[in-house]
Chains A and B, each alone.
Chain A
Amino acid sequence: MSYDLIAGLMFSSLMLMMLTGQRVFGAIGFVAVVAALWLWGTGGSDLGYSAVMKLMKWNALLTLPMFIFMGYVMSESRLASDLFKMFHVWFGPLPGGLAIGTILLMVLISAMNGLSVAGMAIGSTIALPQLDKHKYDRRMISGVIQAGSSLGILIPPSVVLVLYAMIARQPVGHLWLAGILPGLLMAVIFIIYIAVRCRLNPDLGPPITKEESEQISWAEKISLLRAGLLPVFIFAVILVPFIMGWASLTEASVIGALATVLVAVAKGRFTWRVFEESTRQTLAITCMFMLIILAALSFGAVFDGLGAGKVIEGVFVGELHLEPWQILVLMQLSFLVMGMFLDDTAMLVIVAPLYVTLVDQLGYSLIWYGVLYTITCQIAYLTPPFGYNLFLMRAMAPKDYTLPMIYRSVVPFVLMMLVTLIIVMVFPQLALWLPGLVYS
């Protein structure tokens, strides 16, 4: 049997195994170890375990539990609710203003945390009830929270970019800075969309009433702005020591986590319940991610052993005679399709190593490609049937947010993400200008 056939067989059995609904890490791991045993006999039996030792040396993964912990402390202690109140008061009187405020809140959360889980938790506990109370359209609410929280992986600090940095062997600092402008651009596109839709049809996002906004005095409005200092503080304690080279990446994430705890303590909100809940959830979510990465790494090792990279390269460069930019577009398209069915970390660990070498050979910047990859991941979070934010939304939102409604709500936002992806593809300077400026 030829190696490309085996690779194809592995990939289709992976899809089939995922469909059984068994835990994702079990599905991926099973295909990986069975393939290894089948191909290399008893010599393949240690392949699965060797991933544990390989993963141990990926220091940057230590940031994962730190960011998860920080996100949970922030949402459980309701630190972010002051922030939302600030946006509520300042933007509420505009049509769609609370939805715009939610996007801005998500941008700030993203600047403090590297995962989309934190934004989802904060969005659904703090923003969602308020938007519901003000009779915002449910589809608008669900779309805004899911799309907004996905910015967490594009705006630094970002865990997805850290993983990408390890696979592509690129400096994390450059990648993080490269994500800033595209992330802000995407947020601006979201905001324009919300503003236009709500102006045309005020029922989607009715402004808060005059009486409600007049209840709050100007002095109070000004003092609420102080809430905005929190994200600036946390962003600075993580990014500054890291970019300046005073602390390693993992150390910077520890500082961020401890700074969040410190703020919560100072505000008197760090109760035993917050502590217990955050610690337990951090373990649960970290285990979920790490078990998937572990299984995907074994799968990727078998795939790599088969020379799947050469096969893909052969198809793109040799058989199809494509221009470099066409290959790039095809790669993005295949990522988008895979992202619908695969977990994004699994996708990164299995497929990215194959693509990254190709991108490098074509002469493109791997920093820029990292940003493109991350935007694709954001889309993957929102596209059914397998999308983390869809799962989280259903788990966290009230029962009357049904699955079909949640699916439909993301459509306009996915389109806007695609627009951002195309803009960044056409204008690579959007990603590359800032890192060039800082590290020149």
Chain B
Amino acid sequence: MPDWIKSYVRWVEAINYRVGRFTMYLLFVIMGVMLWSMASKVTHLPANWTLETAQFLFVAYYLLGAPYSMQLDTNVRMDLLYGRLNQRTQVMWDILTIFFLIFYIGVMLYGAIDSTVYSFSIGERNPTAWRPPLWPVKLVTCIAFSLLLLQAVAHFFRDVATLRKVSI
């Protein structure tokens, strides 16, 4: 395997690992925001920014964490037929079917960029009391889907390497 593929896989995995390890702590930021929301109700000055902030954070949480979850291999598969194949055939199958996944993520990324550009150009805001601009959260989704796409391609290379008995 060419060296650039090896270093691509290593780089992508290292970046996504770090992004994922950072993202997993956003859970506690969300908790903090919700706690603030409760506290503000007690003082009879309910904060109007908490719910939307929590929503934005949650989008960042599960999308930025997605490539790391692929590394951890927690995304379920239906293994009625797949589970009965031997490991080598599974890898060969994956090399073919990962293109479905790559296509899906590609369309999602296209939609994300489209939506972000539009959002930025018209200065779109959430139609609520707080009226936050929407482009920052959409930009985060663009980054997340890009990382997910890179991760899926890295999986493809890894499978090819396994098949050719090369270690990366």
Query: Which residues of chain B have C-beta atoms less than 8 A from A18's C-beta?
Result: 78
User: Within residues 6 to 52 of chain A, which ones have a CB less than 8 A from any CB in chain B?
Assistant: 17-27, 29-30, 32-34, 37, 45-50, 52
Q: Does A185 contact B (CB under 8 A)?
A: no
Q: Which of B20, B90, B97, B137 has the most CB of A within 10 A?
A: B97
Tell me the A52-70 residues at the B interface (CB within 8 Å): 52-53, 55-57, 59, 61-62, 65-66, 69
* Contact present for A27 and B34 (CB under 8 Å): no
* Residue on A nearest B78 in the bound complex, by CB: A18
A257 contacts the other chain (Cβ, under 8 Å)? yes
Tell me the complex Cα distance, A69–B34, Å. Answer: 15
Secondary structure type dominating chain A contacts = helix
Which residues does chain A contribute within 8 Å of B78, judged by CB atoms? 18-19, 21, 24, 27, 341, 385-386
CA distance A57 to B55 in the complex (A): 7
Known contacts A20-B93, A20-B97, A386-B78; A48 and B55 CB within 8 A of each other: no
Query: Which residue from B38, B65, B79, B108 sits with its C-beta under 8 Å from A287?
Result: B65
Residue interface mask A275-319, B partner, CB < 8 A = 1: 000011011111110111001000000000000000000000000
Query: Within 8 Å of chain A (Cβ to Cβ): is B45?
Result: no
Residue A76 at the chain B interface, CB threshold 8 Å: no
Q: Does A251 contact B (CB under 8 A)?
A: yes
Of the candidates A21, A23, A33, A288, the one whose C-beta lies within 8 Å of that of B83 is A21
- Is A364 part of the binding interface, using a Cβ–Cβ cutoff of 8 Å? no
A125 is an interface residue with CB less than 8 A from chain B: no
Give every chain A residue within 8 A of B83 (Cβ-Cβ). 21
Number of A-B contacts (CB under 8 A): 179
Contact of B74 among A17, A49, A62, A287 (CB under 8 A): A287
> Is B112 on the interface with A (CB-CB < 8 A)?
yes
Q: Is A258 an interface residue (CB 8 A)?
A: yes
**B129: Cβ under 8 A from any A Cβ:** no
- Cα A52 to Cα B73 in complex, Å, equals 22
Among A32, A50, A247, A287, the residue within 8 A (CB) of B69 is A287
Q: In the complex, which residues of chain A have a beta carbon less than 8 angstroms from the beta carbon of B160?
A: none
The residue on B at minimum CB distance from A68 is B27
User: Smallest distance from the beta carbon of B107 to chain A beta carbons, Å?
Assistant: 4
A10 to chain B, nearest CB (A): 15
Given the contacts A46-B111, A62-B58, A286 and B65 also touching, CB distance less than 8 Å: yes
Is A391 at the interface (CB under 8 A from chain B)? yes
Number of chain A interface residues as a range: 35 or more
Q: Is B122 on the interface with A (CB-CB < 8 A)?
A: no
Give bound CA distance, A257 to B31, whole Å.
Answer: 9
- Whether B34 contacts A251 by the Cβ 8 Å rule is yes
Which residues B55-98 have CB closer than 8 A to chain A? 55-56, 58-59, 61-63, 65-66, 68-70, 72, 74-83, 85, 90, 93-94, 97-98
A292 to B78, CA, bound (A): 13
Minimum CB–CB distance for A240 against chain B, Å: 14
Is the CB–CB distance between A283 and B65 below 8 Å?
Answer: yes
| Cα distance, A69 to B28, chains bound together (Å) | 10
Q: Is B147 an interface residue (CB 8 A)?
A: no
Cα–Cα, bound, A25→B74 (Å): 12
- B30 at interface, CB cutoff 8 A: yes
Q: Give B124-148 as 1s and 0s: 1 = Cβ < 8 Å from A's Cβ atoms.
A: 0000000000000100010000000
A26 is contacted by which of B68, B69, B93, B100 (Cβ under 8 Å)? B100
Contact B27 A69 (CB under 8 A): yes
Complex Cα–Cα for A56 and B140 (A): 13
User: Which residues of A have CB within 8 Å of B20?
Assistant: 283
Question: In the bound complex, how far is the Cα of B66 from the Cα of A19, in angstroms?
Answer: 23
Proximity string of chain B (94-116) to chain A, C-beta cutoff 8 Å, 1 when within and 0 when not: 10011011011101101110110
Contact status B24-A391, CB under 8 Å:
no
Question: B76–A24 contact, CB under 8 A?
Answer: yes
Contact (Cβ within 8 A) A21 B55: no
A369-397 Cβ-contact flags toward B at 8 Å (1 or 0):
00000000000000011101001000000
Q: State whether A21 and B81 are in contact (beta carbons under 8 Å apart), knowing that A48-B107, A65-B61, A279-B25 are contacts in the complex.
A: yes
Contact, CB under 8 Å: A61 / B101: no
Determine how close the nearest CB of chain A comes to the CB of B155; give it in whole angstroms: 10
Whether B35 sits at the interface, judged by CB under 8 Å, is yes
A382 CB to closest chain B CB (Å) equals 15
Residues of chain B within 8 A of A282, CB atoms compared: 24, 27
The answer to whether A22 and B101 touch (CB under 8 A), given A290-B62, A341-B78, is yes
Contact string against B for A residues 158-184, beta-carbon threshold 8 Å, 1 for contact and 0 otherwise: 000000000000000000000000000
Tell whether, in the assembled complex, residue A45 and residue B37 are in contact, meaning their CB atoms are under 8 Å apart. Answer: no
A17 to B80 alpha-carbon distance, docked (Å): 12
Pairs A-B, 5 closest by C-beta atoms: A21-B82, A49-B111, A26-B101, A287-B69, A385-B80
Q: A283-B27, A291-B69, A384-B80 are in contact. List 13 more A-B contacts (CB 8 A).
A: A17-B100, A19-B82, A22-B101, A23-B70, A24-B77, A33-B108, A45-B110, A47-B111, A248-B37, A251-B38, A283-B69, A287-B62, A388-B76
